[in-house]
A and B are shown apart, each in its own frame.
Chain A
């Protein structure tokens, strides 16, 4: 039975695009183009909301817990960090800086804009991961050696890209279609390569991440002692749990009891003699006995059914992916770095996540997608959202025509 648990938290806010699509003036500067493409007012509104419900109370709670000995690992998208610098400079960013500085906290790398750039430019992905590592080091004072990717995507090529970028380990969601007969509770690597893989325990993670406040769930209400019992009864070396940071206070409100659960979790773990570790500590300890894991060529993610279906499962998402690639290619052709940067923002995975519900009758996955779609958009109607979202990309591609002139 497992003796150790590692907790991983992902802090991310999307840079939402502006809907309805804003027409872009001809000959526009890259800075003005950004104004037309991204809805900073909406982004601030959501940032402020999540700050109130999650970033402040949850970080205060984690600061208290790590001080008492709890160990956690945490990653930040640059998308979030830039918003925090703009709108949370006084109350959010200092809290996270303090949290990251604590010796019991490991900083994890992440694709900076939370994009799917690795699907069509793996070289750029490597550069972006290297850039992100330096960015995090400068901003938060720690250099990550372990890295996650967008939506915990992992495939054969991305594995080697992360290794090339110099990371020691990465994560993968423990879905049966990838693991097969293997257990999620061991350390793995691929093809005897250096980069180690920690497997997120899918069901134990989602018990908290998704099901915690579901009153229809047979285990509702979940308490820390029950949860730790489940952990303790799991076979293997360790359990690796991965959650959105916003699970605490935003996805599950304070009234759900999530903060009480969090407070009691380390207490119950200690009671059952299950120790907390950081991913790096697990890698160090289990590296000599790491097992081989065949990696999928079709990448796995931690969303939906564990593949890319959640992001590319409907025709609207497939259209956006094509537009993401087109806008990126066009930006590359201009040779303008700022435009490439804009194209990378537009490659943000959230733009696919937010329209997963389109054309579906409903269901739990569609509910998750709809939850993250800005409610302000629905006045455009579902078809209107799709039309305007595509228009944002088309506008960007056309606006770059000006930069192609000799």
Chain B
């Protein structure tokens, strides 16, 4: 048997996902994953289609990256009734996606690809696409094209696992997931997914403007400058982080805790608990601020214990924050992968991760890995780093090295090798 390689000449990619590149379509890590993965594939020369629940007021089809990346904004006729984002009107969009995407992929992508003697590679993300993938596989099978396709379905999270027909899905697709932690989780369900980790975009390694970092640091005269970014979800352990800040304050340390939360209703409980613990929470409402405006606003709010960044924080500022803070608290109780943690590491920041899917983090080597939900564990480690600055410096250095192993280019190479294996497993007829 000869080795048959996936190349741009013999393959066309389709990424199926609710989340995608539009701001409207981003609710968590999945949107970034899809954006970066599709761009990385297109950069490697693959024709890549992304079918996602896009902004209803953007073009239905958009071609980027020398016509290799084709964005298909799906369910726009429904999204126009749901301005709050990708998951508003979720059930309505799900129905539409399941009903229409399989036929579209069959007629508009699979058939032309097969005509050009190319293989269809389908990468489907999250529970929302599970039914769609099953229907697509059935359709391809019905029309005699199933052996011209390789289908992957990826679990980024355990959300709505109860809504998936696993027997059927595992039969039609190669299951993948983002970490060995998730693999073990799914083993308990009688499944054996292939691990393809998330990646970090190259721009995260660009380094940060040290002058801007210094000016950002100068704003605060605190003992500890902390940051937390994430959805307002109990799994993210927001209360643990707030309790740690309150504990530091009780011990007489001055803390500034910047938070960039999601808009989920659980946030109300978190802020209530923070205020009850004596923390002064200040909302920073800005709209596309320049760096000067941002610093000015932070200056005005620096007496607050908790500063809520209620605006879209641009990538550049985020990297400055990641690097400039004493620690970024990515202290999730359950994290399938933990993209934020890896991004902080790529920027040379100090991240406190949980200890589930964040398998890139090695305690005291390139990150602080928290083993419990006890806020004192955070407090203790912050005082430790304060007392041992050399450890912090080493963590920052090692973090960058570790994160580089997860650059999207590397991840895609990993992915391609696994597609080649899956093609054999799915008895997909690969052109030489």
Contact = CB atoms under 8 A, between A and B. Distances in A.
Nearest to A26: B81
A342 B90 CA distance: 25
Nearest to A24: B92
Contact of A28 (B81, B91, B95, B99): B81
A32 interface: yes
A26 B89 contact: yes
A22 B89 contact: no
Contacts of B96: 22
A25 B96 CA distance: 11
Contacts of A32: 77-78, 81
Interface in A331-352: none
A23 B81 contact: no
A35 B89 CA distance: 16
A359 interface: no
B95 A25 contact: no
A3 to B, nearest CB: 56
Contacts of A69: none
A384 interface: no
B205 interface: no
A27 interface: yes
A22 B81 contact: no
Contacts of B91: 23
Interface string A348-377: 000000000000000000000000000000
B82 A22 contact: no
B82 A25 contact: yes
Interface in B51-108: 77-78, 81-82, 89, 91-92, 95-96, 99
A324 B307 CA distance: 55
A71 B186 CA distance: 71
B81 A25 contact: yes
Interface in A1-49: 20, 22-28, 32, 35
Contacts of A27: 81
Contacts of B82: 25-26
B77 A22 contact: no
Contacts of A20: 95
Contacts of A26: 81-82, 89
A23 B77 contact: no
Q: What's the interface size class on A, roughly?
A: 10 to 19
A221 B415 CA distance: 65
Nearest to B90: A23
B99 A25 contact: no
Which residue of A25, A26, A27 has the most chain B CB atoms within 10 A of its CB atom?
A25
A308 B296 CA distance: 77
A24 to B, nearest CB: 7
Nearest to A35: B77
A28 B92 CA distance: 11
Contacts of B92: 22-25
A27 B92 CA distance: 13
Contacts of A24: 92
A32 B95 CA distance: 14
Contacts of B78: 25, 32
Which residue of A20, A23, A24, A26 has the most chain B CB atoms within 10 A of its CB atom?
A23
Interface in A31-81: 32, 35
A17 to B, nearest CB: 14
Nearest to B82: A25
A25 B92 CA distance: 6
A32 B89 CA distance: 14
A23 B81 CA distance: 13
A22 B78 CA distance: 12
Contacts of B89: 25-26
A380 to B, nearest CB: 14
Interface string A312-340: 00000000000000000000000000000
Contacts of A25: 78, 81-82, 89, 92
Contacts of A23: 91-92, 95
B139 to A, nearest CB: 13
A18 B190 CA distance: 35
A23 B78 CA distance: 10
B137 to A, nearest CB: 16
Nearest to B100: A41
Nearest to B99: A22
A100 to B, nearest CB: 36
Interface string B9-21: 0000000000000
A23 B95 CA distance: 7
B19 to A, nearest CB: 19
A27 B88 CA distance: 13
A198 B81 CA distance: 52
Nearest to A25: B81
Interface string B105-141: 0000000000000000000000000000000000000
Contacts of B81: 25-28, 32
Contacts of A22: 92, 95-96, 99
Interface string A86-104: 0000000000000000000
A112 to B, nearest CB: 28
A26 B79 CA distance: 11
A22 B99 CA distance: 10
Contacts of B77: 32, 35
A22 B92 CA distance: 7
B105 to A, nearest CB: 16
Nearest to A32: B77
A228 B91 CA distance: 59
A28 B93 CA distance: 13
Contacts of B95: 20, 22-23
A10 B81 CA distance: 41
A23 B93 CA distance: 9
A69 to B, nearest CB: 48
B143 to A, nearest CB: 15
A135 B99 CA distance: 34
Interface in A126-179: none
A27 B82 CA distance: 9
A247 B295 CA distance: 80
A158 to B, nearest CB: 38
A35 to B, nearest CB: 8
A58 B89 CA distance: 47
Contacts of A28: 81
A27 B78 CA distance: 10
A270 to B, nearest CB: 50
A20 B77 CA distance: 19
A157 to B, nearest CB: 40
23 contacts: A20-B95, A22-B92, A22-B95, A22-B96, A22-B99, A23-B91, A23-B92, A23-B95, A24-B92, A25-B78, A25-B81, A25-B82, A25-B89, A25-B92, A26-B81, A26-B82, A26-B89, A27-B81, A28-B81, A32-B77, A32-B78, A32-B81, A35-B77
Given A23-B92, A24-B92, A25-B89, 18 more contacts: A20-B95, A22-B95, A22-B96, A22-B99, A23-B91, A23-B95, A25-B78, A25-B81, A25-B82, A25-B92, A26-B81, A26-B82, A26-B89, A27-B81, A32-B77, A32-B78, A32-B81, A35-B77
Closest 7 CB pairs of A and B: A25-B81, A23-B92, A23-B91, A22-B95, A25-B92, A25-B78, A27-B81
Interface of A: 20, 22-28, 32, 35
